[in-house]
Structure 1
Amino acid sequence: MDTLYSDVANYKKLLKQYIETQDEKSLYGAEQISKSFIKNKIPPEEIINLHIQALAELYPSLSEEMQHSMNFLLETMIAYGIAHQEFQALREKQLELKSEIGVAAGMQENLLATTKPIIEGLDIGVVSVPAHQMNGDYHHFIKGKDGSLGVAVADVVGKGVPAALCMSMIKYSMDSLPEESMSPKAILENLNRVVERNVDPSMFITMFYAQYLPSENKLRYSSAGHEPGFYYHKKEDRFEEIETKGLVLGVAADSNYHRYERFVQNGDMIIILTDGVTECRQGERFIETEEVLDVIKSYSHLSAQDMVDHVYKYFERMQNFELRDDFTLIILRKEV
C-alpha cells in the first residue's frame, strides 16, 4: 500500500514535469508507474480520477470546460472498466472451455483409436483429420478370426462434444457385438436400434460398413445413408459409384438394411470416404466428384497409404490449410 501511495505522489510530480517540459524522462517514469498500477489491479477509472485530482491541485484555475471534459472522460472509463471486467471474465471462461475441449478431444482420440490391420493381399490406406478439435467422423477396422476385414466409416450430422459422445457410443456398441454378427447388414441393424434408443432425434448418423473376404475375393457392404463410395476397375481403368440404399441410423428402430456384394479383381480399389472429401471447396466453388477421382487416380502408382496422404495434402492446400469439414478417406486395393 505504501508503494501505491508513493506511485500516486510520483504521478502528480511527473505530470507537472511533463506539462512544463514534455521530456522523455517523465514519460518513462509514467510507464513504470503504469506497471505498478497493473500489478495492484488499479481500474482505469481510478487512474483518470487521480489525473483529475492532480490537475485540480496543480491548476486550481482550470477552465470549467476542461473540468467538464475530464468528468466526461471519467464516466466513459467507468463504463469501459465494467465492460472490460466482463470481457476478461468471458475470456477466462472461454479459455477454460477450450482447455476442457482439448482434454475431451484427446480422450476421444484414445477412445476411438483403431489400428490399421495387416491383411494378406490387401493394401490399406487411411487418413482421418478433424476440421476442429473434435472429430465428427469415425472409422474403425475389425479383423475377423477367418482373416476377413471389417471397415466402418461414419459421420455424425452435428459436431463438437455431442458428436464425439455419439461416436464413442457407436464404437463400444460395435465392440460388444459377437463376431458372428459382424456382417454389414447385421452391424447396421444392431447399431440403428442403439442410436434410435439413445441419441437425440435431432442428431443423425450415417455409416458405411464393408466386409472384405480374402478367401473369396469378395466385398460385402451396406450403407445407412452414407456418402457413396467408389470402386475402381483396374482392367477397364474406370471408377464406378458404389450404389447402396438405407436410412441413416436412428430414424426408425425397425429399419432394414440390404447387403450388397461384389468380386474384387487384382489391382481394383475400394474408396470409402465422408462428405468432407467430396464437398471440399476452393473459395466458394465446390469441387466436382470427378476432380476427387482424378486426384486419387493421379497418385494410384503409390502405396495405398501414400495415396490417401497425398490426396489429403492436395485438398488441404486447395482450401488454404483450413478444412471446412472433417476429412476421412480409406482406400483398399487388392494387390496383384
Structure 2
Amino acid sequence: MDFKQILESGYREVLCRYLEESSEAALYQGQMFSRKSIKQQISPEEIISIHCKVLKDLFPDISKEILDSFDFLIEFMMNYGLAYHEYQSLKDKQFEIKSEIEMAASIQEYFLETSIPKVDEVDIGAISVAAKKINGDFYRFVEDEKSISVAIADVIGKGIPAALCMTLIKYGMDSLPKSITKPNDVLGNLNRVAEKNLDSSMFITMFYGVYDFGNHTFTYAAAGHEQGFYYHAASQSFEDLTTRGMVLGVEQDITYEQFEKKVNPGDMIVMLSDGVTESRTENGFIERSIITDLIQTYMHLSAQEMVENIYRDIEKLQKYELRDDFTLIIFKRL
C-alpha cells in the first residue's frame, strides 16, 4: 500500500469517528492526523481532494452540487495558499527592514551622542527628537577652556542614508585640524568633505557657532540652515540670527560669511532646525512668533527646562504627531 492509500485510509477513519461521535477525542485525533500530514508535506488541496473522495464512498447519494463545491474549494485554497505565502514573505521582509532600521538608529545614537556642557558663564539646553526611527538632525558640542562650539545639521533626506550622512559630518568635524576654529572655515572644510563623499541627491544644512567665554561673543556661520533667534534682555526683544550660505555638498569651493554678536547678561541665543519653525497645525505652518512667545513664557526656567517645555507645547499643537525632526538649542548668558 503506497503512502497516498495509507493517508486516505487514515483520513477515512478519523472522519468516520468524528461523524459518529462529534467528540473532543475525535477532534484531537484529527489534529494529530493534521500534524502527520504537515510532516509529510501534504498540501491543503490534497487533503480536500481526499475528503471529497471519502465522502463519495461514504455517501454514494451525495448531491453533485456539493461535490462540485469541493472543486471550487480546492481552486480557492490553491490561490489562497499562494497569496498567503506571498503575504508571509512580505511580512518577513518588513520585519527584517524594521530590525535593520532599529539597529541603524541605535548605532546612530551611539556614534552621534554628545553631552550638554555645564559651565558657569552660560546655561545650555538642548533637545533633539526624531520624527521617525532615524534622526535626520544632528547636534554636537565641542568644549575647551576658552570656548564652546556648537553645530546643528539637518540632512535633506531621511532614513538610513541620512544617518550615514550625519556620521560622515561627525567624523569630518572630528578630523578637522585644531587650527581651524572659525565657524566659516569649519563650514568650508566640511563642505569639501560633503562634496567629495555625498551622493549628488544628498545635501546638508548646517549652523556652526563659537561662544567665547573671555569676551562673551558668539561668532557663527551657516550653510543654508534655518535662522535662529537672538533675545536682547535689555530691550526684551527678539531678532532673527542673520545667516547666509549655500548648503553643504553642492559646490566644492564656497566661502561662508561669518557673523558676530556681543552677548550681554540675560541674552539668549536660540538655534534650531526647520522641524521647529515648520511645525504644522490644521491651519498650516506655525508662525515664528509662536516660538518666541513660548521662549518668553518659559524664560524664567533653566535652558534645559525651556527647550523641553517648548517641545512639549509644539508637539501638542501638532496633536502629538511630529512631521519632521525637531532640534532646539538655547544658550542663556548668566
| TM-score (norm. length: structure 2) | 0.89
Corresponding residue number in structure 2 for 1:148 = 147
1:1-336 matched pairs, under 5 angstroms: 8-9=11-12, 11-13=14-16, 16-17=19-20, 25=24, 29=28, 32=31, 36=35, 40=39, 43-145=43-145, 147-283=146-282, 285-335=284-334
Taking a change above 3 Å as real, the CA distance of residues 60 and 162 of structure 1, as seen in their structure-2 partners, is same
Is 1:14–1:29's contact at 8 Å kept on the other side of the alignment?
no
Give the Cα separation in 1 of the matches to 2:301 and 2:34: 60
Taking a change above 3 Å as real, the CA distance of residues 9 and 233 of structure 1, as seen in their structure-2 partners, is farther
Is 2:221–2:243's contact at 8 Å kept on the other side of the alignment?
yes
Identity %: 46
Corresponding residue SS for 2:209:
strand
Q: Which amino acid in the other structure matches residue 95 of structure 2?
A: L
Taking a change above 3 Å as real, the CA distance of residues 35 and 224 of structure 1, as seen in their structure-2 partners, is farther
| Greater CA drift, 206-215 or 87-96 | 87-96
> Number of residue pairs matched?
329
Give the Cα separation in 2 of the matches to 1:10 and 1:143: 81
Taking a change above 3 Å as real, the CA distance of residues 9 and 311 of structure 1, as seen in their structure-2 partners, is farther
Give the Cα separation in 2 of the matches to 1:47 and 1:299: 71
Q: Which amino acid in the other structure matches residue 152 of structure 2?
A: V
Q: CA deviation at 1:243?
A: 1.7
| Greater CA drift, 65-74 or 260-269 | 65-74
Instruction: Note the residue ranges of structure 2 that are not aligned, 5 or more in a row.
Output: none
Q: Which amino acid in the other structure matches residue 110 of structure 2?
A: N
The C-alpha deviation readout for 1:15-63, integer Å capped at 9, x for no partner, is 6358xxxx68589659956984897576543443344334333323222
Is 2:137–2:153's contact at 8 Å kept on the other side of the alignment?
yes
| TM-score (norm. length: structure 1) | 0.88
Q: Which amino acid in the other structure matches residue 165 of structure 1?
A: L
Corresponding residue SS for 1:142:
strand
Give the Cα separation in 1 of the matches to 2:283 and 2:52: 54
Q: CA deviation at 1:190?
A: 0.2
| Greater CA drift, 265-274 or 6-15 | 6-15
Give the Cα separation in 1 of the matches to 2:316 and 2:33: 46
Is 1:211–1:220's contact at 8 Å kept on the other side of the alignment?
yes
Corresponding residue SS for 1:181:
coil
The C-alpha deviation readout for 1:166-216, integer Å capped at 9, x for no partner, is 110100110111232021101100000011111011111000011111111
Is 1:270–1:333's contact at 8 Å kept on the other side of the alignment?
yes
Q: Which amino acid in the other structure matches residue 290 of structure 2?
A: E
Instruction: Note the residue ranges of structure 1 that are not aligned, 5 or more in a row.
Output: none
Is 1:119–1:149's contact at 8 Å kept on the other side of the alignment?
no
Q: Which amino acid in the other structure matches residue 106 of structure 1?
A: S
Q: Which amino acid in the other structure matches residue 265 of structure 1?
A: N
Q: CA deviation at 1:112?
A: 0.8
| Greater CA drift, 108-117 or 152-161 | 108-117
Q: Which amino acid in the other structure matches residue 16 of structure 1?
A: L
Q: How much is the aligned-residue C-alpha RMSD, in angstroms?
A: 2.7
The C-alpha deviation readout for 1:211-244, integer Å capped at 9, x for no partner, is 1111111110101000111111122222211121
Taking a change above 3 Å as real, the CA distance of residues 67 and 303 of structure 1, as seen in their structure-2 partners, is same
Q: CA deviation at 1:325?
A: 1.2
Is 1:126–1:329's contact at 8 Å kept on the other side of the alignment?
yes
Q: CA deviation at 1:296?
A: 2.4
Taking a change above 3 Å as real, the CA distance of residues 59 and 9 of structure 1, as seen in their structure-2 partners, is closer
Q: CA deviation at 1:65?
A: 2.2
Q: Which amino acid in the other structure matches residue 73 of structure 1?
A: L
Q: CA deviation at 1:66?
A: 2.1
